[in-house]
Structure 1
Amino acid sequence: MSAATTPTWDPAQYLRHAGHRARPFIDLLARVPDLPGDRPRIADLGCGPGNVTALLAERWPTAHITGHDNSVEMLDKAHVEHEGPTAGGGRLDFAHADVRTWTPTEPYDLIISNATLQWVPDHGRRFGAWVQGLRTGGTFAFQVPGNFDAPSHRLMRALAPRYGLADTLRHEDAVLTPGTYLARLADLGCVADVWETTYVHLLTGEDPVLDWVKGTGLRPVLTALADDPARRDAFLAEYRAALREAYPAGAHGTPFPFRRIFAVARKEA
């Protein structure tokens, strides 16, 4: 298992940009159709601290929803802040699981994943098992970042070899093209809707793009250099300077373009 797939997570850092990070999930959720069950069974793969998993309970208040993640730190936050019965008589709970190997053990009405599958090598090969685990009329839905060729990632990868981290970070092939996702889901007998959107987040504060990636894309570097603070700080100083040039602050904040890819696939009979 490479360091790129096993970063140590910091829920507080991740949630510093919670509003911006939740928006793609809200947009994804808006395209999910009605589910077949009156008391739907839902799995959220890569639930993180549970803040967006809780939005599923608002949409389907009678559902039994389980958020799955392999980060103890994230799950601890989710258990404390979001677990328990829901207002409509459903339940929200969380469980430790590795998305690379998780397979449904009961029929699901919805399997959903928000900004997680980019951490799963060759994740398209998992789609068959997940679609097979859906009830007829159930939905598999996900969104992944599509910005691995953006300056935030290219600059990170360019610096990594100088710090002995050449194999630590993900590359452009961490996600598939929208057309490839559409074809794979259609081949599985789904009616699929696939699209992409580029958000332009207006970030505030000092070095806000660096602050953003410290919660996600930079986690493998921070994990690998955790026991070498001098080398970590040197990396961050170089990376910070490069990000300031690539994402200059404007009069109202720092614009941060962020492309994302979405898919909603309904299982047919």
Structure 2
Amino acid sequence: MAKVHFVGAGPGDVDLITLKGYKLLSEADVVIYAGSLVNPALLKYCKEGAEIHDSAKMHLTEIVDVMEISVKSGKEVIRLQTGDFSIYGSIREQIEEMKKREIDFDCIPGVSSFLGAASSIGAEYTVPEVSQSVIITRMAGRTPVPDRESLRSYAQHQTSMAIFLSVQGIDKVVEELVAGGYPVKTPAAVIYKATWPEEKKVFGTLETIASKVVEAGIRKTALILVGDFLGQEFYYSKLYHEDFTHEFRAGKSSHAD
């Protein structure tokens, strides 16, 4: 029976779609892709004759109507979403419509841009003894953010932070983070279109990052990364320490006479 497959397209690089996602995309009869955000080069994986729809020009009902008509006609449908749709993917409303209309579906996760951004700069969000938590959030805009989830309230933890959909208000972001507790010397980076060919990387501190972003002409499609994980402080993990014993390896000291 035909169904709708929600597929995470990856952060931008066409090779970062998962193997399962690629296989489904290459076999799909109908593809509805988020044209304003998904790399259109991914469409080269579609088979000849596939029906392509750009959802940037469609509202929710139109999108779901195409899904319903296609599935009921026995066609396999791909809803090609940005990065990993589990984060700011607007997938919930589509899933609810699938259930209401009794349309069969499944979800194929992708690689999020917050992972692509960290990889592009060779960073790890969870550095031993520096930070072991990551806050993924955004600044309030046309979509509101609950007061209890404000940047200022999260900043008190001074942990690693990946801030989506907020670079257009970089000055306000910095203001809120500093007011909440981050020192002005906290390292920060802004990655524009992580993993895309046109990727840009800007590095600084909370004191300097806003002006550098303006100079770079970055106004959208960028992630703001904040935290000491970007700094020079570093400690080796226990996992690979020669004296660390675990299920698969005896520590060096355990072999001593």
Q: TM-score normalized by structure 2?
A: 0.37
Structure having the larger proportion of residues in strand: 1
- Higher CA-based Rg: 2
Structure having the larger proportion of residues in helix: 1
Q: TM-score normalized by structure 1?
A: 0.36
Higher relative contact order (CA 8 A, sep 6+): 1
